[in-house]
Amino acid sequence: MARQLVEVEEAREHERVLYAQTVLARERAQLAREMHDVVSHQVSLIAVQAGALQVAAKDPDAREAARTLSANTLDELRHMVTLLRASGGKATELTPQPTLADLQQLIANSGIETTLTGELPPGISTTAQRTVYRTVQEALTNVRKHAPGARADVRLWHDAHHLGVTVTNAAPTRPTVALPSARHGLIGLKERAELLDGTLTAEPTPQSGYRIELRAPTRPA
């Protein structure tokens, strides 16, 4: 009997350890997504500006320094995100978290000619609001990086059962500057969509542009 009690207690302890590891892994993945979405959005601006300097500068050393800065900075960021996804360490939710109220300011600061149309149902969860915001943020970041000069359209929408956002950009009007990409952004967006039991699609358009769409079930806050 005593041996059985010991075995039961050992099994419970094992379950507690597994649960703790699962929670920790979820927290690390959340922090990795936040780190990418928040930091990469700003770093990409620096990288694109450095790329423009690379093209405009007459000094070969200045051009090489700009190229190295833009590429290495993004590489280092993606390396840190990869390590965070794979390694241990305690993570907490970053604050403050963006909501739909911050969407207009995000678009205004994007440096991209962007239209915002449509609306989402009132009272959607803060998680859904944050996911919509991050989807738009990543989509506009990708427009700056991969489709310079392109216009973008952000459309919020909902029906009886689903809500979502569709971000479509036109074809680039200026030459692109090659930047390294590990696609962590789209991976993170797909993970966010899955947390809402939704889906994320990302695909080229027939007009040589690109479309990213988040689709999730409508749920109350």
DSSP letter for each residue of 117-141:
EE---TT--HHHHHHHHHHHHHHHH
Q: Tell me what the pLDDT averaged over the chain comes to.
A: 76
Question: Do residues 143 and 105 make contact, with C-beta atoms less than 8 angstroms apart?
Answer: no
Question: Do residues 21 and 29 make contact, with C-beta atoms less than 8 angstroms apart?
Answer: no
Instruction: Name the residue ranges covered by the structural domains of the chain.
Output: 2-217
Grade residue 23 by pLDDT with cuts at 50, 70 and 90.
low
Q: Which CATH class is domain 2-217?
A: alpha beta
Q: Note the pLDDT of residue 42.
A: 60
Say what the pTM is.
0.60
| Cα–Cα dist 181/75, whole Å | 8
Q: What residues have CB less than 8 Å from 125, skipping those under 6 apart?
A: 219, 220, 221
Give tens-digit pLDDT for 165-201.
999 999 999 887 665 555 567 888 898 899 899 999 9
Question: Do residues 166 and 152 make contact, with C-beta atoms less than 8 angstroms apart?
Answer: no
Which residue's entry shows tokens 């542009």?
Answer: 209
